[in-house]
């Protein structure tokens, strides 16, 4: 079987091309232990490649971190917590945290010795951050958090969770979003595993915050910045989800191409037949187009264009998810019965690819965003 080697995009600098090749090599030598891979990636500096150098990071951006996740995914071993720990939490703390918060958390996030989960989704809020009911109230110098979260990734292995709560604006009386770092062992912070029909190393959890008391310095950033700080983490989340989907799609497609090249039923390999070859070629084209949009989104975000990055990150996540679902489906179909066997490792991706369509925001909400924000059509919600 041929190796799914890294192939760079036109936006890759020589340094990024080297990063792709190095991460691809690490993924291909991966033994199967996800914790060992995390530790090795941290030791090599890949987990914190987007974080500031003065706090132990690589000084790069989301462009570099998305390369790490895509290439690990293309090697068949994506580290899903990369979407959360360094991309969302690391970015928010690096941009808005106090000097003390940066020194406390960023070096560990950069080398992988510290992991942080991210808690925004709630049972009744879905994609609507304005309906979040987890509240934070002041009690002297402390904050007290109360609420619930669902589908929070990796809480059991995370040292802390960055929780999105809402506080009352003293001037308007309205609730506004704020971000709090909650260490896992904090009294009142409980988490319960949600069984999923999804083959993934990272597990999903429901969180219950029952009068969780936090010190004043648990608040990240300015209490009045609200949505600005929240969306500073959500754009990288979309870009990284796109990278996750792209890696998965490339992995599946490489398996199918190898199979189509060597599997012989009549006189020639099945890949010689256009009914097999053309759908695989289309899947490759769509993955490549999505990779370009993902690179554009990362470029805009790293350049400080938050508005432009918001549009591009949503489009990249949409395009990559659609391309990955199609690539996985066509790859399974190419292998026939073998596509559903454990030996080839493709069947588990049928469910995993669907995740990219659903999380962190549904494809329908992205279409709402584009129709309203980009095309200027009337808002439907």
> Could you read off the pLDDT of 241-283 as tens digits, one per residue?
999 999 999 999 999 999 999 999 888 999 999 999 999 999 9
- Band (pLDDT 50/70/90 cuts) for residue 127 is low
- Band (pLDDT 50/70/90 cuts) for residue 233 is confident
User: Peptide bond preceding 83: is omega within 30 degrees of 0, i.e. cis?
Assistant: no
Query: How many Cβ atoms from other residues are within 10 Å of residue 326's Cβ?
Result: 19
pLDDT digits (tens, 9 = 90+) for 298-345: 999 999 999 999 999 999 999 999 999 999 999 999 999 999 999 999
CA dist list (Å): 15 to 21, 49, 67, 140, 204: 10, 12, 11, 50, 35
pTM above 0.85, yes or no: yes
Query: How many Cβ atoms from other residues are within 10 Å of residue 216's Cβ?
Result: 10
Q: Which pLDDT belongs to residue 229? A: 78
> Over the chain, what is the mean pLDDT?
93
Query: Which whole number is the average pLDDT over 62-90?
Result: 97
Q: Which pLDDT belongs to residue 9? A: 75
Query: Which whole number is the average pLDDT over 84-90?
Result: 97
- Band (pLDDT 50/70/90 cuts) for residue 226 is low
Three-state DSSP at 11 gives coil
Q: What is the longest distance spanned by two Cα atoms in the chain?
A: 80
Whether the predicted pLDDT of 1 surpasses 60: no
Contact assessment for residue 10 and residue 25, using Cβ atoms and an 8 Å cutoff: no
Q: In the structure encoding, which two tokens stand for residue 207, read together?
A: 């969180």
**Which candidate, 208, 233, 241, places its Cα nearest to that of 315?**
241
Which domains does the chain possess?
A: 14-115 (1.10.540.10), 117-220 (2.40.110.10), 227-374 (1.20.140.10)
pLDDT digits (tens, 9 = 90+) for 148-190: 999 999 999 999 999 999 887 666 667 788 999 999 999 999 9
């Amino acid at each position: 079987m041929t190796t799914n080697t890294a192939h760079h995009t036109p936006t890759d600098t020589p340094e990024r091309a080297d990063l792709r090749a190095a991460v691809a090599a690490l993924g291909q030598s991966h033994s199967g232990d996800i914790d060992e891979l995390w530790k090795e990636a941290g030791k090599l500096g890949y987990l914190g490649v987007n974080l500031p150098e003065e706090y132990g990071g690589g000084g790069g951006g989301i462009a570099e971190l998305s390369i790490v996740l895509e290439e690990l995914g293309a090697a068949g071993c994506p580290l899903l917590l990369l979407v959360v720990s360094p991309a969302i939490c690391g970015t928010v703390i690096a941009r808005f945290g106090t000097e003390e918060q940066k020194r406390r958390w960023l070096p560990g996030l950069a080398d992988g010795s510290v992991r942080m989960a991210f808690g925004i989704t709630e049972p009744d809020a879905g994609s609507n951050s304005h309906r979040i009911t987890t509240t934070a109230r002041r009690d002297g110098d402390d904050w007290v958090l109360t609420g619930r979260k669902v589908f929070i990734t990796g809480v059991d292995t995370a040292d802390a969770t960055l929780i999105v709560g809402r506080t009352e604006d003293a001037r308007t009386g309205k609730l506004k979003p704020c971000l709090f770092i909650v260490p896992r062992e904090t009294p009142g912070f409980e988490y319960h595993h949600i069984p999923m029909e999804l083959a993934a190393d990272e597990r999903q959890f429901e969180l219950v915050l029952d009068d969780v008391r936090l010190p004043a310095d648990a608040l990240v950033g300015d209490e009045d910045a609200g949505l600005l700080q929240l969306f500073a983490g959500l754009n990288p989340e979309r870009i990284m989800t796109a990278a996750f989907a792209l890696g998965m799609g490339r992995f599946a497609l490489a398996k199918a191409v190898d199979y189509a090249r060597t599997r012989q039923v009549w006189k020639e390999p099945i890949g010689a037949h256009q009914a097999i070859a053309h759908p695989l070629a289309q899947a490759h084209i769509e993955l490549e187009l999505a990779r370009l949009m993902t690179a554009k989104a990362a470029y805009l975000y790293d350049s400080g264009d938050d508005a432009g990055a918001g549009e591009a990150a949503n489009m990249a996540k949409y395009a990559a998810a659609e391309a990955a679902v199609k690539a996985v489906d066509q790859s399974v179909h190419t292998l026939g019965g073998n596509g559903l066997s454990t030996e080839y490792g493709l069947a588990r991706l049928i469910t995993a690819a669907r995740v990219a369509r659903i999380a962190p925001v549904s494809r329908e909400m992205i279409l709402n965003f584009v129709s309203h924000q980009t095309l200027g059509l009337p808002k439907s919600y």
